[in-house]
Structures are given as structure tokens and as C-alpha cells.
Structure 1
Amino acid sequence: MGDPSEEPGSREHSWSGHRPERPEPFASYQASYEREHGPIEPHEPGYGLYQPGYSPYDAQISDTKSRMLAIQNAKAYLLKSSTTSGLNLYDHLANMLTKILDEQPTNAVDIIENISKDVKWAQFQKKMDTLRDEHEILPTFEAAEKQKALFTKESGGEEEQEEEIGESPLPNVMETAFYFEQAGIGLSKEESYRIFLALRKLISDHRMQTCRFWGKILGLEMNYIIAEVQFQEGEEEEEEAEEEDDNEEREKEMGEDEDEDEDETKKKDEPPKSTYKPPPVIPKEENGTGANKYVYFVCNDPSNPWVKLPPVTPAQIVCARKIKKFFTGRLDAPVVSFPPFPGNEANYLRAQIARISAGTHISPIGFYQFPEEEGDDDEEGEGGRDTFEENPDFQPLSVAEMVDSVSAWVHHVRSILEQGRCVWFNPFQKSEEEEEEEEGEEKEEEPGELDREVGPPLLTPLSEDEGIQNIPAWTAYPSTTLIPQHAVAILQSNRWPGAFAFASGKKFDNIYFGWGHKYSPENQNPVLPPPVQAEYPSGPEITEGTDPTLEEENAFKAAKEKALADEEEQEEEQEEENEEEEEEDDD
């Protein structure tokens, strides 16, 4: 073979300058390897290993322009961004070399993979502020900060603390949770203790006579923790006065608007008034009586502030019986249903609490008794007694006796009538002032008297509760059958799933954990809307006539003008005749 520099297409011919020779160690290694094993294959080590002056570009690129174009293409390939991470290889390699030169680690080639990972990880970290670092707040830390106020002890003297310990209405939530835990009912100890602390905070903010953990109603977004309280005499009156002041201001504003509207209507022609009279509104029961005997506070989490629920009205209870809606956990959420519910979720929650309390709050027979006072017969005639007291001579029954028969339990909350009240109200009964005003006026036909509703009296045994088809209203069982001498009597409501009661000696309590829905053996069948009102029948007396066309109007005007002209001519002729007759008479 001749000189390789003179052969066309050789690597020496493609270079314009001097080509550096291949290193001798690699050349001798390759020659010895090929003599023994043959030429190096692509899958063997050493193939494609770049050596100075030995590159595919040396044989393919002949001029400088092509070489520069190849370099640009290669750089463009390295700058191509990834479709997953958005990074490119050129910047990544540049950042890696910058990191290596800045830190200068030992044996950088051994940790090149770790350096590559660190450079990639730095691309996805949050950008720190120039003044201070932005620390990420973990959800557990944020929840702990909110609950930190529950674990702080309020400062006070020893005498005040002793009085609070002796007279505080704070219930022992942990003891109640222990008894329900025997039957596998209740919350975790951690959550029960946080509710215990939340109730302590609620009592410190208000003056209360009694306080009790009512239960927990589940929601789609958040849950409701419910506390049942009874205010002291002065506290509740102050809150009622504030509510009445607000209502009076609203009524005044509404009255002013109505007066303005009346003045405007008097100026105009008064249209005919409708003779329809809406049904009378059933008033709500006063605070401290009936369905509003207790006040309820709710919160979504023990660390959140307590919110007082408004009193319930009969219309809300009647409508709540016809619908079934899941709670969202937001008190201001609207209740979209048919029939339309008169209020938002706070009112619907209060109505469900009243219904559950009336049907599931029970106590061992003999624990409560009616006070021996005069006038009991009159109270019974008005709808039954509403007050009771603890029996100091109460002798508890054994667990076996309380489990064998539900007659050993009684209701200590009054049932709600179909009217939506615990005490029936006659909507057509008029006060003395109204009767005096109607004496001088003509008496209108009074509607027929409604049948008086009478519900079961207080302290009625559970044996009188109606079952659900073939399912009894209550199920009683001991907490354990292995150690019956230390068992606790448990009662479960089948009408309101999630309502439980326990009794152990002289201790008992009620609790509810559920969705706030009543059990229905069949599917929910909502009330259908009323049928669409029929249209008026068409006829000549009702149907409006069609408007005349322009031609008909012009013809009508022309005929009218012609008739007027004829009348004028007749009048003129008659006047002329009269004048002629007068002249003849004069002659």
C-alpha cells in the first residue's frame, strides 16, 4: 500500500493540518488483541472508545463548514428538552461540571452519578427567599399548633380552682368513653381526650348549668362534634335579649319598607285583593322547653371554636321528616331538597339533633322521678309533665335484668308530635284582644277545630316503642359474656342507627355516632312535586282578539270620516230647512 496521505478519502487527506498519531499503548493493545482474537466487534469492550484523532467525524467531515454545522447540530441535540422533566442534557452537564469545579470532591468519577442526582434534585426544590428560608410546615405540626391552646392551663388562684373542681358542670368524658369502649363503641382515647379539653374550654367561655358530650355526626367533607348544654338563668336571658333586639331592628326595617310600599300603592289604582289566607304559622317552643329545652354547640375539630346552633322551629322538624340529606360539614351550606327546607345546614342539623334526642335518650327505670308538687294534674292535662328530678332512693337493677327486658329502660326526653312541637298548639285559638276586636265586626266562618295531638308522656318504658316491620326498636346485650359479673348493659337503637346507651350501677349515658339519618327498610321515596296547573280554556270570552291590519285600520278611518261628513251635511240641510220655515212664518 502507498502513503495513506495520498489516498483519496483517507483520514489524513480529509484533515487540512497535521493529524496527531494514535497513542502507542492503545495501538499495540489493539494489534495484539486482533492477532489473538480477531478484529474487535461492536459488543466487545474497547469498541467505539474515543481517542484523540480517531473519531467518526474525522472520516466523514471534510471541510470546516460541515464540521461547524455538525457541531451546531450536536449542540442543538444536547439542548433538546426532556418531555417529562423539562430539562436538557447541555445545561445538566454544565451544572454538573460547575458543581465539581466548585466543590472539587475526591474521586469525582466514582460519585458522578450522585452528583447528577443532586443537580437534578436542586432543580425541583423551592426557591428560597433572599432574606430568610421558607420552611415547609407539615400538616401534623400545623394541627399540633392549633391544638396547643387546649393543653394550656388557665391561670387562677387555688380557691377558684377548688370551686371549679367542686361545682364545674364539666362531664367526665373519659369515664363515659371507657364504658362505651367495653362494647366496642366510641372514639379513640386521643380524640376523646381532646374533646374533653374542648368541652372544658366551652364551659370557661359560658356560664352553664349542665354540659354533656352529645355525640358526633358524620359529614361528607367534615364531621360535627356536638355538645349539649343548659345555661344558667342569667346567661340565657342575656343572649335571648340580644337576639330579640336584632329581630326588632329587622322588623322595624321591614315595617318602614312596607309603609313606603303602601304609600306607593295608594297613589296607584288598587288591584283586587286575593281572598286566600295562608295556613297559620306554628310558633316555636320557648327556650328551655320542649324541643328547645337544651342548647347545642358544634365544631368540626376540638381545636376549632364552638358555634351555637339556632333554636329549632316546628316547620323545620316537619320538613326534616320528609327529606334525607347528607351533611357536608359546613353550617352555612344550603339544603337543596323538595319540599324546600326552611333554612340552611345549621337548621337542618338542629332539627335532626332534636329528632334523635327525642327518640333515643333513655335512662334506667326509677333513676328519674316527677317532683311531688301541687298542680300536677293540670300539667298532665296540658300535655304531660316536662320536668323531672333524680331519685335519691334509686336502686339499680342488675345487668342481666336490664338486658333481658327493655321495660327496665324509659325515655327521659319528650317525644315530638306530628305538628313539630312537644306540646300541641292550637293555631286557630285567638287571644282575648283578637276576640274583643271581632265582637264589633262581622264574624267570618271559622274553620273546623283540629284534633288535639297527644304524645306518650315522659318516663315511658321502651317496651311501648313500635318496631320496624319485623325488627324491634331496641336491641339489648351485655358488653361481655365471659365475665358477666363485670359486664355493662348496652342498648342499641335500630330506628336510629348509631345511638347507644349504657348502664352500670347508678351510672348511665347516651351517645350517638352516625350520619344523622333514620333507618328506613325501603328506599328513600321523596315527595313528588304537585302536578302542573292546567291552562285556561280557550273561548270568545277569554281569548284576545287579533289586531287589525293597516289596510283594515285605514278603511275603518275612512268609513268613520265619511259617516261624520254625512252627519254634518244632514245637520246643515236640516238647519237650512228650519231657516226657510222660519222665514215663511214671518211672511
Structure 2
Amino acid sequence: MSELADNGPQPGQSESVSRMQQSEFTSSESSQEVLVEVENNLTSTDEIMIQNAKAYLLQKSTVSNLNLYDHLSQVMTKLLDERPNNAVDIIEDISRKVKRTQFQKKMDTLRDEYEISMAFTLAEIQKTLFAKGVETEEGAAADHEEEVLDTPLPNAMELAYYFEHTGIGLSSDEMYRIFLALKQLVEMYPLQKCRFWGKVLGINGNYIIAEVDFREGEEDTEESVEEEDVEAREDDKDDFGRTEEEEPEEVEDKPPASTYKPPPVIPKEEKHSGTNRYTYFVCSEPARPWVKLPLVTPAQITVARKIRKFFTGDLAAPVISYPPFPGNEMNYLRAQIARISAGTQISPLGFYQFGEEEEEEEEGSVRENYEENTEFEGITTVELLDSMANWVHHTQHILPQGRCVWFNPVQRKEEDFEEEEEEEEQEAPDEPEPEVGPPLLTPLSEDAEINRVPPWAVKASSNLIPQYAIALVRSNLWPGAFTFAIGKKFENVYFGWGHKYSPENYSPPSAPPVQMEFASGPDITEADDPTVEEEQALRAAMEERLAAAEEVEEEEEEEEEEEEDDN
């Protein structure tokens, strides 16, 4: 530009071009002069302010050991390198990414390390729910059709449809995954009946519960054999918890035998009866493995009524409580399932009936079996909502003993009678009064209230179209238990924390009173050992007494001899 100005216009250039070049030259000179003037006008105070500001920006954080000056420089560099659209809207995200890179591991420069979320892991596991086997043989299709007709798989989507109209239940996606999980369970075991019992909520995980009934003679007996072995080993133990093999060698000074006899153990009910009528499987999420719950014992039900614990989602977790619970969370879950089923499993009146061929029961016996009434025509929704007498319990009541059928703990075996004949006769304990509960198919109108709170609440799914409404019954004693009925269809389900309603705040039971001390007396009162001087004095006094007694005896003998001589 300066060369053109010095040499003037070149050949072929117009005068206007040369004039424009001269004006540019003059403007550049003026701008330089302005900059020089600005630099000269900067005072020492401005320089100090700039230095202080830069020093403030260079201060390092005590948390991340970074400073704002370098961070802003990196953010501006990233913006100028990438030049994204609407930079002002995403500058916060860029600042967060720049700061995050300061703390990432730099182990591999070719690939980024991605954190696998729990949702992604669960989705990978649930892929198996949607897998379908390929049939290669021609006869496989016919066999498959027969299995579909005879399958015990419940129509869980129909259940979800009815409960959705009543305003409760799970989402359709989760319900469909549970439906597929039940399908896997039916394919794994020879089941005669399978039902979605409900979902119990936990702190760290939930439990999806399926109620099943095995076919006759096809249930695995491994668990029962192991339980019998455990009970046999417990019976073989003595008062000190030792078996015959572990008994110590005979010693001359044996400790006195204990006369204490623990209270008799109430045996659990057999399979397919009472509290163990059905078998239950649980899983934490659909597609995760199903776990079979063990049989419940009366002791577990009795203690479960006295405690109140939240579930953790881990079946092997210990249950720390007072009184101590005999088992882990798996046993506690099974006890709560038995309690909830006994109190909330209901059906419309007339859907079930007792068999006609069943003989009359003896006194004290309880009816356990019933059958579906094929002639049941259904009860209208209006009648189901008007009276609770149109609903009945079809699950046996659990007695305070922890069983559905009362067991006499005083009854003795033949071996006990033989032992008693050999030993001395002892006073026989008083015969306890048998516990009696309400029989099967008892109407809900006879249920007792708790602090003026009705045990049940009913409502219709819709008041606008009552002719197509569904009757819904909700349990107030076990919040989360619901039952719907329309026509000939009904179903029970539970969604809750597994706790029973309590009108007052829960307080653990108090510890038993301290055992009274033995009555003190001269025979059992402890005394200090005598000193050496006292022992010597006692020994001398005893010797004097013996010597005096000998002298008296000698004198009496002499007197007797003299009398004999005189005679």
C-alpha cells in the first residue's frame, strides 16, 4: 500500500483508485497515533487494577486446585476451535465439560470410558423375555398347541386391564414384563396353577411374587428332605445343644442334670395345607431368576406379628429385631405373605362352595377344601357395593398359635409314656383350650373393626356408567390389598410395604422382667473364709470338747464297773 502511494498511480489505474489508497494510508496513520495516545494516558492506577484483577483470577481453588483464569482461557479456546451455533446458550455445558476433562482418567486416548447404568444392565437382562424359540420338527407345533391349551399361565394383561379401570396397579409396560416372567416360570416348573400375587416394596429393591401350585407327585422333594434332616438333628440334641457324638467323656464329678424342659415346639403345617397351602416364588425384577420361598413355621408367624421391619430387597439379609426373628428376610417375607393372604384373599359369595361328597367334620376339625361352583351366575356390581355380606374369605384364618389348624402341645407320644412309667409320677400339665377361628367362606360383614375403622372399603370404578362399572374392595387393615369383581371374574392383588395397619405408633415390646433372686437364708448365705488363728482356736476348742467327752465316758464306765462289783 505504501509503495503504491510513493510511486503514484500505475499505468492503467484510474485516479479514483489512487485517491482511495491515499485515504487508507492516512487512516492507518491516525489509528496508530490514537493507540499511542491511549497508552500514554494509562496511569499507574489502571495498571495496578489490571494486575490485581489478573491476580484474583489466578487464585487456585482449595477444592479442585484450578483457577478461573486458565478455565476461562480453555473455554474460550474450545469455543473458537469448534465455533458451535448459539454459543451463548450452551456455554454452561461447555464449561462443565472442560472442567470434567481435568478429572477423567487418561488411560486410553482412543476410546472414551462410558459408565454402564442400571437401566442399561436391566435392559440387557430383559432381552431374554422377548426371545422366542424356533421349532424345527413338524410335531413340535402340535405339541406346542396342546401346551398352550393346558398351560397354567394367567392372563396378567387382562388383570392389568381391569385394575387400570379401578385406578390401581402397575404400568402396562411393567405388567407385560411380569407377564413374560410368569411365562418363564411356567416353562421351568411343572405347575398346575400360577397366579400373580402382587408386589412388595423394599428400601433397596422390590419383590415380585407369584403364587403357584405344583402338579400332584411332581413337586421337588429335596427341600422337604433337608428340612426333615434339620428337624431330626434338632431333636437329637440334649439340653446343652450337643448330639450323642459330641457328648463329653464320662468324668467322675458330673454336673447336676438340668430339670428344665423347654416349651414344646409347635410343628409347621404340611405342604398343601394351612399356611403352606401354596408355594411362592419371588424375583427382584422381571427376567431375573425366580427364588422359591421355604415353608413358613408357626414361630415365624408369631414373631412377625410382634415386629415391624421394612424389607431391604435382599433375601439373605438378617432380620434384627426384638423379639428375635427365627430366620432371615426370606422367612420374614414368607410369613408376611401368609398373613396378608389369610386376611385379604376374598371372593364373591357363591363363587366357591364345599364339596357335596365331603363327610361331616368331627368336632374341632376345620374344613380346608372347597371347589369352584360351576353354576355361579355372578353378582351385580350394585349388590357387591351395597353389602359386604356378598363377599367371603376363601383363605383359612391363622390362629394365635401361628397355624390354621390348632395343635395340642400337651399331647405326648408313646415313647414319652414309657419314659414316664419308668420315672416317678409327675403332675400332668393342664390341658390347654383349643383355639378356634372363623371357618372358610365367612362373610366380610362379620369382620371386626379396629378403633372404629371399618376393615373394608368399596367403590365403583365409574359413577357415570354404572351398568359397566367394576366393583373394587380395598382392605383398610392391610393397605395395598385390592380385589375387583365384575360378572363371573374377580382377582386379588397386593401392592404395598407388607405392613399391617396400626392405629397407634409402633413401639417394640418391652423386655421380660428380671428374674427374681433366690431367697436368702443361713444355708445359702456366703461367708468369709476363717483366718489361721480362728482355725487354730476352733481346732483347740474341738479337741477340748473331745477330751472332756472322753473323760465323761471313762467316768461312766468306771461307775458301771463298780456297780457290777457290788452286785
Please state which band the TM-score falls in when normalised by the shorter chain: 0.7 to 0.9
| Aligned-pair CA distance for 1:304 | 2.0
**2-side partners of 1:356 and 1:371: how far apart?**
26
Please say if residues 209 and 229 of structure 1, whose CA atoms lie closer than 8 Å, have aligned partners that are also in contact: yes
Equivalent residue of 2:177, what SS?
helix
**Conserved? CA contact 2:481–2:492, under 8 Å:** yes
SS where residue 234 of structure 1 aligns?
A: coil
State the Cα RMSD in Å.
Answer: 4.2
Where does residue 192 of structure 1 map in the other structure? 175
Task: Specify whether residues 430 and 399 from structure 1 end up closer, same or farther in structure 2 by C-alpha distance, changes over 3 A only.
Answer: same
Shift of 1:184: 0.7
| Gapped regions of structure 2 (runs ≥ 5) | 1-27, 547-567
SS at match of 1:220: coil
Q: Does 1:139 align with 2:118?
A: yes
| Deviations 1:510-565, CA, capped at 9 Å, x for gaps | 011112111122222432112223445666543433356xxx5379679989x99x
Distance 1:555 1:278, change over 3 A: closer
- Secondary structure in structure 2 of the residue aligned to 1:503: strand
2:218 aligned counterpart, secondary structure: helix
Cα separation, 1, equivalents of 2:72 and 2:466: 76
Q: 2:236 touches 2:244 (CA, 8 Å); kept in 1?
A: no
For 1:286, the equivalent position in structure 2 comes to: 270
CA distance in 2, matches of 1:415, 1:333: 29
What's the counterpart of residue 247 of structure 2?
A: 262
Deviation for aligned residue 1:79: 8.7
Corresponding position: 1:29 with 2:56: no
CA drift of 1:331 comes to 1.6
**Contact 1:475–1:494, Cα closer than 8 Å, also in 2:** yes
Q: Alignment length, in residue pairs?
A: 506
Is residue 2:213 matched to residue 1:230? yes
Gaps of 5+ in 1: 1-22, 50-54, 57-74, 568-587
* Cα offsets for 1:370-426 (capped at 9, x unmatched): 12225x213x53422111111111110111011111111111111011111111111
Say if 1:525 and 1:27 are closer, same or farther in 2 by CA, change over 3 A.
closer
What amino acid is aligned across from residue 168 of structure 1 in structure 2? T
In 2, the alpha carbon distance for the partners of 1:25 and 1:438 equals 128
Tell me the distance in 1 between the aligned counterparts of 2:471 and 2:186: 30
* Aligned partner of residue 83 in structure 1, secondary structure: coil
Pairing 1:85–2:68 present: no
Aligned mates of 1:539, 1:425 — CA distance in 2: 44
Could you say which residue in structure 1 is the equivalent of 2:528?
A: 546
Query: SS of 1:329's equivalent?
Result: coil
Q: Cα gap change, 1:183/1:122 in structure 2, threshold over 3 Å: closer, same or farther?
A: same
Aligned to 1:407: 389
Compare 293-302 and 527-536 and name the one that shifted more. 527-536
Name the amino acid aligned to 2:119.
Answer: T
Give 1:337 shift: 2.1
Q: Distance in 2 between matches of 1:39 and 1:419?
A: 100
Aligned CA distance change for structure 1 residues 431 and 79 (closer, same or farther; 3 Å): same
User: Partner of 1:483 in structure 2?
Assistant: 465
Structure 2 CA distance for aligned equivalents of residues 106 and 423 of structure 1: 78
TM-score by length of 1: 0.75
Structure 1 residues 455-504: Cα deviation after superposition (integer angstroms, max 9, x where no partner): 11111111111122322221122111100111011111112111111111
Are 1:466 and 2:448 matched, yes or no? yes
Task: Normalising by structure 2, report the TM-score.
Answer: 0.77
Is 1:431 the counterpart of 2:425? The answer is no
Moved more, 233-242 or 424-433: 233-242
1:31 to 1:504, Cα distance in 2 relative to 1, 3 A: closer
Alignment of 1:415-454 (within 5 A): 415-435=397-417, 438-439=420-421, 442-454=424-436
2:326 matched residue in structure 1: 342
Match of 1:173 in 2: 156
| Shift, 1:137, TM fit | 2.0
Superimposed CA distance per residue, residues 122-175 of structure 1 (whole angstroms, 9 cap, x where no aligned partner) = 323342437865333233322211211121123443123212211111111111
Aligned to 1:159: 142
CA 1:348–1:181: 2 relative to 1, 3 Å: same
SS in 2 for 1:229: strand
In structure 1, distance between residues paired with 2:327 and 2:321 = 11
Give percent identity, aligned residues only. 57
* 1:170-209 Cα deviation digits (max 9, x unpaired): 1111111111111111111111111111111111111111
Residue 472 to residue 88, structure 1, CA distance change in 2 (3 Å): closer
1:204 equivalent to 2:187? Answer yes
Provide the residue aligned with 2:511 in structure 1. Answer: 529
Q: Is the 8 A contact 1:128 1:134 kept in 2?
A: no
SS at match of 2:106: coil
Specify the code of the residue in structure 2 equivalent to 1:451.
E
Tell me the amino acid that sits aligned with residue 476 of structure 1. Answer: V
